[in-house]
Structure 1
Amino acid sequence: MKYNQSHLKNQSYKELLTDYLVSTMEKIFDPVPVPIILLDNETRIKMINDVFADYLGFPKEDLIGKKVKDIDKNTRFPYVYKTKKTEIAWKHRFENGHTAIVHRIPVLNAENEVEYGVGLILFEDVEQFKDIIERNKLLETELHIYKKRLKEIHGAKYSWENIIGKSEKMVAAKYMAKKAAQTNSNVLLLGESGTGKELFAHSIHNGSMRSFFPFVKVNCAAIPSELLEAELFGYEEGAFTGAKKGGKIGKFETANGGSIFLDEIGDMPLKMQAKLLRVLQEKEFERVGGMDSIKLDIKVIAATNKNLKDLIKNGKFREDLYYRLNVMTIEIPPLRERYCDIEAITHSLIRKLTDQLGKYVSSISEKAMEYLKSYSWPGNVRELENVLERAINLTDSDTILPVHLPVYLIQNKRRILDGPIRPLKDIIEDIEKESIIRCLEYTKGNKLKASKLLDISRSSLYDKIQKYGI
């Protein structure tokens, strides 16, 4: 490209330099068989090579100057510009129906603002990507892939940084958990559903000397009782009808050297409790249908949202197993007992959910936050996450507003706080009544469970129900 005096007068030096660079890039990348695109700071197409234009099904001259969103409505480049985060090897479905593996790279200037965006198609077809992986399965590559896969399947995902909260009860729980991570003793996590027991289990494993070994999760309530023993301890070939040839190793054997997380331990059948007790005492077990003992070096982390002492009284949980598990006990407080943590948890969940949903939302209004802080959260952090996910899906801006929150949250606060100023005793009674109603809704009318959640006796709950005409 030649430049004369008139060019120099009509164009700034920066514009000339940009045009020159784009022209040079076209010469370099047009012959390259890898689809490449260059965007300006407004996501307009500055340069696209021939192979990319052909892939999209447009003449190249029709694409230059257009915003990438006008060419492909599924593009994530506007989101990448907002987050300023590179996306490597993402699966992307173009508007023309093609599915590819792509890179999206924001180029930042000295002021940390996005100046350009670079896009590349690594594989023009997902099947092509799969074929290349298959063709390159050499021994070293296989070992790397399988180790990574094992880490993904059996590794712990969370650490202490993921446990958010500065309230007194949460600080105490986190302190106990860190101490528990430094020992080989069994750990028992107690807390309502949705408080973050699994988060603590992951963090305890990752904070221990066993972090490089497997972390295996078992939901004791999700596995049928007749299959639980084989699932936990494995079986030998021919142990029962339908047993796999060669047998199968169980969860305990898989976790050997690492940690096993027994979630919902209160739902484990009594027969299995007896076998688990022996395993914890003897540090060995036999597979179903097997004769040889297998030695275990394992840390057991158990969790439940039930009152194990009540289960013991009712003959549904072994007392000796309870005391074997109840070495390092950590009580995780419900959200209603740490309202001061709600704001920090909310902002953390917004960041997490925007990454998952691919929708840029960065803040929540003060009024919306007031509604969140005035609610009792019977479903704890899990319920808060669901409310925020719904709000992010509803918002058309980068801020969550009260209108994006469920109606019951708004009505909850209005019923209690709106209207004329009243005696404090009346306001407290309104809050107490509202809390009991919400708790009974959450427990589907189960008054025994509601009294435990509210931490009052059942007789006190009945008195209050009668008092408030619930």
Structure 2
Amino acid sequence: MERTTIINDNYLVNLLNKIFDPIPVPIILIDKDTRIRLINNCFCEFLGLKREDMLGKKVYEIDENTRFPYVFEKKKPEIAWKHKFKNGKTAIVHRIPILDDYGNVIYGFGLVLFKDIKEFEEIVKKNQLLEHQLNFYKVKLKELSGSKYSWENIIGESERIIKTKLLAKKAAQSDSNVLLLGESGTGKELFAHAIHNESKRNNYPFVKINCAAIPSELLESELFGYEEGAFTGAKKGGKIGKFELANRGTIFLDEIAEMPLGMQAKLLRVLQEKEIDRIGGTTSIKVDVRIIAATNKDLKKLVEENKFREDLYYRINVMMIEIPPLRERIEDISILSKYFLNKLSDQIGKYVFRITDEALKLLKVYHWPGNVRELENVLERAINLTDSNYISIEHLPIFISKPEGKVKQKKINNENSFNKTLRNIIEQAEEEAIRECLKYTKGNKRLAAKILNISRSRLYEKIKKYNLEI
């Protein structure tokens, strides 16, 4: 009662009106009996009523749709509620009960957040647009930094691949160097991307370099950069190296076993000193880079043969992760095949939904020397060959569908006869592949060459060689 008496004081009411009237937001204050004690000019204009006609009246007399009695009963605020007033206007409102020290309602405070629901919807749309734009630029930033794969791109449910992913996720949480071991086509690069994306460096660059693809004489300038005039043909202004580009991020050294011994020594210095020297430079440059290295070679054996530095081996082999070959996780072939069918169908624009049980059985007994990458290539070829929405045995390469070959092999008595027999098998497979492709393209050599990924002149040579009828 004491607080109600205070609010009824004319001096205080006038003071509150002076405070709230200039505010361009509709505001109302009601007492515990839901009688209007204060309402500012903005709210009066919104309702189209005079202040003196509303003060002292119960709020439901002004707005029959009011929810203040319910708010008082529950003693809980309603924030950002959609409300339709008696005059037909729809708005977003706050209703807040004010309690005393004993938990009793003494006042109710109301505020119209948006006087027009369209205004609210417009702001929501703008916020959604800003959020979409923010997400878009986050994705673009990731792409620009070089990292684009995550754990979702590593497909498999076998025990081997699950354990490997679990170990890789633990490696991602540390800042230690990682060594990825595995045969070609097992997905070492996917793991490198995923580890970087889940690490604390994920907002910084992910730089890739294939040590086998760059001539040894150029590798140093690629890794460490050079100063202007460092050598004949050097670019004006010099060139920044991969390690500088990867600063605060991750550098992925693929095929590290192919790195020359001289470069291995310089890489070791970078790991120890955390600094690089540009070719022709006079000062060292500090870098903070995490290394993820990968190879399909036995590094330990190369160390024993003095073809790889032992000290570098132990520097990069902090978190070693062995990625299993496909033949050791045959149970994943079904889910991998389904994934590749969806992916490749979208890329090719030819929708193939399934593989027959017979074809899938053959895929599961094949030894897959090219691993997951070979499986993807086989399925891409099959999608191009099929005329239906499924893949059957006839769409698989002959070395999978008929592993014994059509020609009975003669007993191998010496190395020369073995080589000749192997060459015949390869030529036979090639001949059948070209014949099937030409049949699929109905003799269209241009399309056949594109599907087989060879030049048209090369295709003509093969057609002539095998005397194929078109």
Cα distance in structure 2, aligned partners of 1:146 and 1:236: 33
- Whether contact under 8 Å (1:374, 1:413) holds in the other structure is no
The code of the aligned residue for 1:318 comes to R
CA distance in 1, matches of 2:329, 2:199: 27
The correspondence of residues 42-53 of structure 1 with structure 2, limited to 5 A, is: none
Note if contact 1:391-1:400 (Cα within 8 Å) is conserved in structure 2: yes
Shift of 1:146: 10
Q: Does structure 2 retain, via aligned residues, the 8 Å contact 1:375–1:413?
A: no
What is the aligned-residue identity percentage? 68
Which of 185, 208, 211 is residue 194 of structure 1 equivalent to? 185
Report the secondary structure of 1:355's partner residue.
helix
What is the match of residue 262 of structure 2?
Answer: 271
**Unaligned runs of at least 5 residues, structure 1:** 1-143, 416-436, 445-470
Counterpart of 1:212 in structure 2 is 203
Q: Deviations over 1:363-411 (max 9, x none)?
A: 1111111110111101100110110000011111111111111111111
Q: Any residues of structure 2 matched to 1:121-200 within 5 Å, and which? A: 151-200=142-191
2:186 touches 2:326 (CA, 8 Å); kept in 1? yes
Instruction: Give 2:289's aligned residue.
Output: 298
Structure 1 match to 2:344 = 353
Contact kept in structure 1, 2:255 and 2:296, CA below 8 Å:
yes
- The answer on whether the counterparts of 2:399 and 2:405 sit within 8 Å (CA) in structure 1 is no
Question: Offset of 1:148 from its aligned partner?
Answer: 7.4
TM value normalised by structure 2: 0.56
Indicate the residue corresponding to 2:234 in structure 1.
Answer: 243
Give 5+ residue unaligned stretches, structure 2. Answer: 1-134, 407-418, 427-470
Structure 2 distance, partners of 1:374, 1:389, is 19
- CA offsets 1:208-252 (integer angstroms, 9 cap, x no match): 111111111000000000000000011010111100000010111
**Aligned in 2, Cα 1:233/1:156: closer, same or farther, shift over 3 Å?**
same
Structure 2 counterpart of 1:411, from 390, 402, 414: 402
Tell me which of 358, 364, 371 is aligned to 1:373. 364
Out of 329, 349, 363, the residue aligned to residue 354 of structure 2 is 363
Q: Residue 245 of structure 2 is aligned with which of 232, 251, 254?
A: 254
Provide the residue aligned with 2:393 in structure 1.
Answer: 402
- For 1:283, the equivalent position in structure 2 comes to 274
Match of 1:16 in 2: none
For residues 259 and 156 of structure 1, the distance between their equivalents in structure 2, rounded to whole angstroms, comes to: 10
Counterpart-to-counterpart distance in 1, 2:238 and 2:228: 4
Q: Distance in 2 between matches of 1:166 and 1:150?
A: 31
Counterpart CA distance in 1 for 2:136 and 2:185 is 33
Q: Which residue does 1:341 correspond to in 2?
A: 332
SS at match of 1:412: coil
Cα RMSD of the aligned pairs, angstroms, is 2.4
SS at match of 1:157: coil
Against the structure 1 CA distance between its residues 372 and 413, is the aligned structure 2 distance closer, same or farther, given a 3 Å change threshold? farther
CA separation of 1:185 and 1:404: change in aligned 2, threshold 3 A: same
Q: Displacement, 1:150?
A: 6.3
> What is the alpha-carbon distance in structure 2 between the residues aligned to residue 398 and residue 216 of structure 1?
39
Q: State the Cα distance separating 1:356 from its structure 2 match.
A: 1.3
The one-letter amino acid paired with 2:360 is: M
- Structure 1 265/170 Cα, relative in aligned 2: closer, same or farther at 3 Å? same
Distance 1:346 1:335 in 2: 12
How big is the shift at 1:318?
0.1
Cα distance in structure 2, aligned partners of 1:246 and 1:299: 27
**How far is 1:313 from its partner?**
1.4
Cα deviation for residue 149 of structure 1 reads: 6.6
Tell me the secondary structure at the aligned position of residue 169 of structure 2. Answer: helix
Call closer, same or farther: CA 1:374–1:147 in 2, change over 3 Å: closer
8 A contact 1:154–1:215 mirrored in 2: yes
Query: What letter corresponds to residue 222 of structure 2 in structure 1?
Result: E
> SS of the counterpart of 2:312?
helix
Higher gyration radius (CA): 2
The offset of 1:154, in angstroms, is: 3.3
CA distance in 2, matches of 1:287, 1:356: 42
Matched residue type, 1:327: V
Amino acid at match of 1:187: V
- Structure-1-length-normalised TM-score: 0.56
Q: Does 1:319 align with 2:285?
A: no
Instruction: Name the SS of the counterpart of 1:165 in structure 2.
Output: coil
Distance 1:146 1:365, change over 3 A: closer
CA contact (8 A) 1:371 1:413 kept: no
Offset, 1:156? 1.1
Deviation, structure 1 residue 155: 2.2
CA distance in 1, matches of 2:225, 2:136: 25
> How far apart, in 1, do the equivalents of 2:177 and 2:342 lie?
34
Task: State the alpha-carbon separation in 2 of the partners of residues 302 and 150 from structure 1.
Answer: 24
- Give the deviation of 1:295 after TM superposition: 1.2
1:226 aligns with 2:217: yes
